[in-house]
Amino acid sequence: MKMKSSMTQPTLLGSPDAERAILGACIFSSEALTLALENLKPDDFIDDRSRQIFSVMGEMYSAGKPVDYITLPDELASKGLLERLGGNSYFDELAEEITHPQNIQFYLDIVRDHAVRRKILNAGEQISRNAAIYEKSVPDILEKAEKMLFDAGQNNRNGEFRHSREIITPVFANIDMLRRSTGKRITGYPTGFSDLNHFTGGLQPGSLNIIAARPSMGKTAFALNIAQFGGGDSNAPVLVFSLEMPAEQLVQRMISAESGVDLSRLTRGLFDSVEFDAVRIAADTVAKRNIYINDSTQLSAMEFFGRCRRFKMRHPDLALIVVDYLQLMSSGEQAARTASRQQEVSDISRMMKATAREMNCPVIALSQLSRNAENRTDKKPQLADLRDSGAIEQDADVVMMMFREDYYSENENNDLKDSQADIRIAKNRNGSTGVFHLTFKREITRFYNFGEI
């Protein structure tokens, strides 16, 4: 194998020499080919010949065919590409330029970095063109800009394996910290509900937590209670996306839950001076909570990610994200026109999980259930009732199914204010499943630990 003695200075746009070095290493080493296919895509190559050859290598690899100095030209010839790409003489040149397969990572880094730079340059040009079109709205321009830059960044995340010895140190340090915490059971975000903390140890960083129920069961109140009364003493920032309800209504609910004043009377100003004092004190308490509300009625998955990322940059101690509710989001303007609703919800679900991991905090996403439960004698919800997509169940770390028996008899029991809510932990990736109960005071939209009141 003849080693290439030197390489020309790469340009900002790419390094054809590094690309040829990679191809040569792949021809002579199946291990080098595997590594290259894990780290690069054909579009990462700037040289058209290298791009097409690498694409055919990938097809051969996927089909279980050997890739070497003999089989690759034959495959290219069968596709009518060999002569167009320079014929056998090009492979002779390739053999003279290749580097040792052990050095391939160096060239992979060069090609991948140039590919990212090209994507960033192309994104900048496209962003400039979009910004100059006054018919386009600013939110749409920003969404597309964030998506292009996000996609460019994804190209730079390789799938390298890490030996367990590299991971064991921080994992063991966390185990030791828990051991020394004198029996502390809550390792994540404290929810304010003892039984839920028991099942989850608190909502864990990077986790996607689904609260699913039929309409009017109280899932918005439950999630808002976790945001308002959870978090322990930290008062760390909580970010709430409310796609269904204006921010003012959410704050009214929070004041009602804090003061104990009936929400319907609070919104109409029908309370006495004593209750007004309670409302005033509650408003002051709510104002001191670091709860931030975004009440956009239209929100795409990419906008959601972008806004969370910008918020995290300003508030690194972001503790919790709440989304009310998942099915009101879209996966994006273009995707909505081309994908089925099931695929769209799957994309949204995956983005929520990716956001939880990227922000390193729990995400609570509310989800509607299908009408299937309404047609059963036993109306308690099941995982199969999750609306629009099974991907929600797949992506979620915790799925909570909310059920209130009195919901189906409220017309006959209008005087019944307190009701029992059954919360079934139907999925818990890192813990046990089961059912716990809460008391729901509907007039103030607040849940309490069962037996607490």
Give me 218's structure tokens: 């109280």
State yes or no: is 244 an active-site residue: yes
Q: Which of 97, 244, 358, 443 is catalytic?
A: 244
Give the catalytic positions in this structure. Answer: 244
